[in-house]
Amino acid sequence: MIKMERHSTPEDVLSLKNTRIFIAGDIILDTYIEGKVSRISPEAPVPVVLETHRKAVPGGAGNVAANVASMGGAAFLCGRVGNDSEANVLKGILEDFGIDIHSLIISKEIPTTTKMRIVSGNMLTSGAQQIVRVDKEKNEQISQEEENRVLDLYENFLKFGGNRCLIISDYGKGFLTKTLIRSLIKLSKQYHIPVVTDPKSEDVFRYAGSTVIKPNLNEGRSVLKVIKPGSLFTNFDEEINTIADCYLETSGSENLVMSLSEHGVMCKGKNIDGTLKINTHALQVSDVSGAGDTLISFLAMSLAAGLSIERATELGNIAAGIACGKAGTATISLSEFLEALKMRNEAIHPEKLMSLDSLTQISQDLKIQNKRSVFTNGCFDILHAGHVDYLQKARSRGDLLIVGLNSDSSVSKLKGPSRPVQTSSDRAAILASLACVDYIVIFEEDTPIELIKALKPNILVKGADYTIENTIGAKEVLSWGGSVELISLLPGRSTTSIIQKAQIGG
């Protein structure tokens, strides 16, 4: 069993934004009623819930599409909803996510599948207890006419270019018939489009030809019991390897990615060298519902972006870990994902060093989340206590700190031909080791004005030896409602003085 941890670069993550994903599957409206319980009903021995909050979110294939859209990918959702009020609610939510809903199949006979959960307590805090779940659904198969309509919609999607992938999100609600699944996969093969499948049926051969099939451990065990009843194992690795081999052979899929609950995730198959197992990256577990939707959405976006299955599995595993830390079905934003990368226990943080284009995209996402970004710049040639104190103070002014780092040629122009002492890559690596630094971008120009204009930070920070009048970018930051702050410096600390002491000592 190969256990491998790869560093996920920002470029990999940002490439997910440039993908077009067609999601075919069972759509569910998940509703939550939160309330307080303080007494038992006099009518029956049941708790009385005093409602305090109500919310609705897309579930099933809808949650998969929401995960794609939240990362900036283009999500095209195809599934069945009813001609009812629940469908209207669902369509409004999907549109708010920016999901294309023109491929929805509206049924006059079948209601929108709905799951209503009544919860005692607040789902955003610990201790919330689900009291009851009320489902409304009719799991009848779609008609031949509806199948043909789905295939027409998918063919229309395929006519347009881009980095594309098909997700088959099967929740067993009747939308994905065996013939529809096989027709969708056949079309995908014709256009050389990868297919990522989340299976529900134990008749796994209906998914034959999938590029990646993604069962969870319990689903894998269920299929193994049917195919090889009475199988015994000496250890967990032997069990999951047997399940993977059995599932691949039985399903006719090219590759398998199997979520292993608290044990992480594994992948195996035609396009993978050996067996890859990656440990879980859940920072805390609040709710595992929807984690599978998050995993499959990241697998699909990664394959559409041209990443390997191993890298797709790593990204999906990290994303699923973030989803587990949220209550109910949840989505992940670009900046949340990159923040999770930085929180991992790694000695090196390559994900902090960004190109300007990449950091501009992240800055836009941060503004949507109303996070206040702080920008400062400098050479940081020999990092000393004065630098660290200054950067910590700068970070405390907002929600994250972006450092503009002068390139080697830029430092030489400012400080003379003997500088810098360290290369820009070394200086960036040292800065990245500081917890107070969130992102670093290297610039070649004499001043960071172009960075500031592109990133539009909320707060611009410089040392107290500057004034607002001679601070580069101050006028621009103030023009869009930002602020400029001048921070006091520790006396007697400078790179120049360190170099002079070293020369004297030499």
Average pLDDT over residues 256-271: 90
End of a domain among 321, 343, 365?
Answer: 343
For 55-74, what is each residue's pLDDT tens digit? Answer: 999 999 999 999 999 998 99
Which of 109-118, 256-265, 407-416 is the most confident on average?
Answer: 109-118
Report whether 251 contacts 213 (CB < 8 A).
yes
Question: How many domains, the chain?
Answer: 2
Residues 363 and 415 in one domain: yes
Structural tokens at position 177: 């018939």
Q: Does residue 281 register a pLDDT over 80?
A: no
Q: Does residue 498 register a pLDDT over 80?
A: no
Catalytic residue among 198, 293, 381, 438: 293
* Cβ neighbour number for residue 155 with a 10 Å cutoff: 12
Q: Does residue 347 register a pLDDT over 70?
A: no
Q: Any idea which of 378-382, 453-457, 496-500 has the lowest mean pLDDT?
A: 496-500
What's the 3-state SS for 376-408?
EEECCCCCCHHHHHHHHHHHCCCCEEEEEEECH
* 286 vs 191: which has the higher pLDDT: 191
Q: Does residue 160 register a pLDDT over 50?
A: yes
Residues 472 and 408 in one domain: yes
Fill in the amino acid letter for 290.
G
Report whether 365 contacts 335 (CB < 8 A).
yes
Residue 440 maps to a domain: yes
Average pLDDT over residues 37-51: 92
Report whether 482 contacts 363 (CB < 8 A).
no
Residues 259 and 403 in one domain: no
Residues 363 and 292 in one domain: no
CA distance 494 to 433: 20
Report whether 108 contacts 138 (CB < 8 A).
no
Return the closest-CA partner of residue 403 out of 435, 382, 378: 378
Return the closest-CA partner of residue 198 out of 153, 237, 165: 165
Residues 442 and 486 in one domain: yes
End of a domain among 319, 343, 367?
Answer: 343
Residues 200 and 275 in one domain: yes
Strand order in 439-443's β-sheet?
A: 353-354, 439-443, 400-406, 373-378, 459-463, 483-487
In the block, which residue shows the tokens 């290297």?
442
Ramachandran category for residue 472: left, alpha or beta (phi over 0 → left; psi -120 to 50 → alpha):
beta
Domain range spanning residue 374? 350-505
* Cβ neighbour number for residue 57 with a 10 Å cutoff: 20
Residue 222 maps to a domain: no
pLDDT at 232: 86
pLDDT at 491: 78
Report whether 328 contacts 32 (CB < 8 A).
yes
Helix (H) or strand (E) holding 276, with range, is strand 275-278
pLDDT at 433: 86
Residues 281 and 308 in one domain: yes
* CATH number of the domain to which 468 belongs: 3.40.50.620
Residues 323 and 423 in one domain: no
- pTM, full prediction: 0.78
In terms of C-beta density within 10 A (0-12 exposed, 13-18 middle, 19 or more buried), how is residue 353 classed? buried
Structural tokens at position 226: 């049917």
Residue 47 maps to a domain: no
pLDDT at 287: 43
Q: Are strands 114-120 and 27-40 parallel, antiparallel or unpaired?
A: parallel
Share of the chain above pLDDT 70, in %: 89
Average pLDDT over residues 194-218: 94
Share of the chain above pLDDT 90, in %: 63
Residue 130 maps to a domain: no
Residue 37 maps to a domain: no
Q: Any idea which of 167-176, 189-198, 277-286, 297-306 has the lowest mean pLDDT?
A: 277-286
Q: Are strands 47-60 and 27-40 parallel, antiparallel or unpaired?
A: antiparallel
Q: Does residue 283 register a pLDDT over 80?
A: no
> What is the chain's mean pLDDT, rounded?
88
CA distance from start to end of the chain = 53
Residues 314 and 379 in one domain: no
CA distance 237 to 216: 15
* 440 vs 345: which has the higher pLDDT: 440
pLDDT at 384: 87
364 — pLDDT class (breaks 50, 70, 90):
confident
Residues 255 and 365 in one domain: no
**Range 475-493 burial, b when 16+ CB lie within 10 A, else e:** eebeeeebbbbbbebeeee
9 — pLDDT class (breaks 50, 70, 90):
low
CA distance 440 to 462: 16
pLDDT at 27: 97
15 — pLDDT class (breaks 50, 70, 90):
confident
For 288-332, what is each residue's pLDDT tens digit? Answer: 456 889 999 999 999 999 999 999 998 898 888 887 766 555 678
CA distance 350 to 428: 9
Give the residue ranges of the annotated binding site for ATP. Answer: 216-219
Residue 127 maps to a domain: no
For 426-459, what is each residue's pLDDT tens digit? Answer: 999 899 889 899 999 999 999 999 999 999 999 9
Query: Residue 51: which residues within 8 A CB-CB, separation 6 or more?
Result: 33, 34, 35
* Cβ neighbour number for residue 43 with a 10 Å cutoff: 7
Q: Is 460 helix (H, G, I), strand (E, B) or coil?
A: strand
CA distance 240 to 256: 11
CA distance 33 to 123: 10
pLDDT at 58: 95
Structural tokens at position 437: 């630094």
Residues 330 and 363 in one domain: no
395 — pLDDT class (breaks 50, 70, 90):
very high
Residue 38 maps to a domain: no
Average pLDDT over residues 492-503: 65
Return the closest-CA partner of residue 9 out of 387, 302, 393: 302
* CATH number of the domain to which 277 belongs: 3.40.1190.20
Residues 326 and 357 in one domain: no
End of a domain among 277, 309, 343?
Answer: 343
CA distance 181 to 262: 31
Q: Is 333 helix (H, G, I), strand (E, B) or coil?
A: coil
Contacts 24+ apart (CB under 8 A), 200-207: 200/170, 200/171, 200/172, 201/170, 201/172, 202/226, 203/178, 204/247, 204/250, 204/251, 204/253, 205/250, 205/251, 205/252, 206/178, 206/181, 206/182, 207/168, 207/181, 207/251, 207/252, 207/253
The answer to whether 389 is a known catalytic residue is no
CA distance 390 to 445: 23
* 289 vs 473: which has the higher pLDDT: 473
CA distance 478 to 495: 31
Residue 400 maps to a domain: yes
